[in-house]
Structure formats: C-alpha cells, structure tokens
Amino acid sequence: MKTATTSLIGAAFVALAVLAVGAARAALDLRHTITGEVLNLDEALPDGRDTPGVKSFLETGRNPYTENPEILAKAEPLFLSACSGCHGHYGEGKIGPGLADNYWTYPKNATDQGLFETMFGGANGQMGPQVFNLTLDEMLVVMAWVRHLYNGPIEDAVWLTDEQKKTFKPYKPPH
C-alpha cells in the first residue's frame, strides 16, 4: 500500500511538472510575424528548451539576458555567425535591415516577444526561420546582442527596464 501511495504521489508530481512547463509555454501567445499563425515551440531544436532564461522569457515575454555581461560575452560570436551576413557586423544592415537604430521593419520587433517571433518563424525577404538553426536559448542570446548594438534614443528602447535605461550606453563599434 505504501509503495502504491508513493507511486501515485510521484506520478502527481510529474504531472504537475508537465503542466507547469505547458503553462509557461502558454503564458505567451507567440505568432508568426507575417501569417499570424501560432508558433509551435515543439519545432525548436531539442537543446536549449528548458533553460532558466527560456522559462523566464516564456513566462514574461522579456529577455532575461538583455545587458547581462556574462551572456554578451558569448552573444557576439553567435550573432556574427548567424546574423551578420545579412544584418552586418554591427547591425548596420546589408541585404537585411539594420538592427541598431529605432526603426523596425516590423514594429513589433521593438518588444522582446516580437523580435523572438520574427527570429523563430522568419519573415519576408531573406529572413528565414531560425527555429532550425538556433536553439530557443541561443535565440535569446542573439536577441541580447541585437539589443546591445542599439544606438537610438533611449526612450525608444522599450525592451530595457527603467534600471537598465539609467546605465545603458549606446553601442560604439570598435574602429
């Protein structure tokens, strides 16, 4: 009897954990930038799905990696390999739009949720879905670098917290 009760309690905890992950995923209504279809996070690469950063983002819609020095150290090389061919080394834009100012081709990209949706699902032109190239966690890391490259008016940086806005310094490319 004790073993059966222990097994039931264990199964209940597993079910609650699964529900908690599902609830975190459902906290945001993630939509494709162009079609408006719901994005299926199950299509994401298996690694990097359940990191604390991803869990926090899926609960809040805010990227917890923004302006985190530890994350920025690994963000630049990832951005350079995944994004700079189209968006430039400093987000200045090439065949893809610039990412360092306050103009967004898709205005929703001013928010972390919007930028994530565009990266995950792709958009018009050459912007293919990154869901098959980057893990969910890597997308958040790249987003942190994109936000770090920002050199527009601070009042337009809606992704920064009030505390981050007090210390934010616009990016100056090394020359």
Q: What is the pLDDT of residue 12?
A: 43
Q: Which residues of the chain have pLDDT under 70?
A: 1-26
Residue 175 lies in a domain: no
The number of distinct structural domains making up the chain is 1
Over the stretch 158-172, which tens digit does the pLDDT of each residue have? 999 999 999 998 888
Domain region containing 38: 2-167
Distances (CA, A) of 14 to 7, 18, 21, 99, 152: 11, 6, 11, 42, 46
**pTM of the model as a whole:** 0.83
User: Is 175 annotated as ligand-binding?
Assistant: no
Q: What is the pLDDT of residue 8?
A: 43
Residue 130 lies in a domain: yes
Q: Which two tokens stand for residue 148?
A: 């770090």
User: Is 148 annotated as ligand-binding?
Assistant: no
Residue 173 lies in a domain: no
User: Is 32 annotated as ligand-binding?
Assistant: no
Closest CA to 114 of 126, 99, 125: 99
Q: What is the pLDDT of residue 131?
A: 93
Cross-strand bridge partners of residue 38: 31
The CATH number linked to 89 is 1.10.760.10
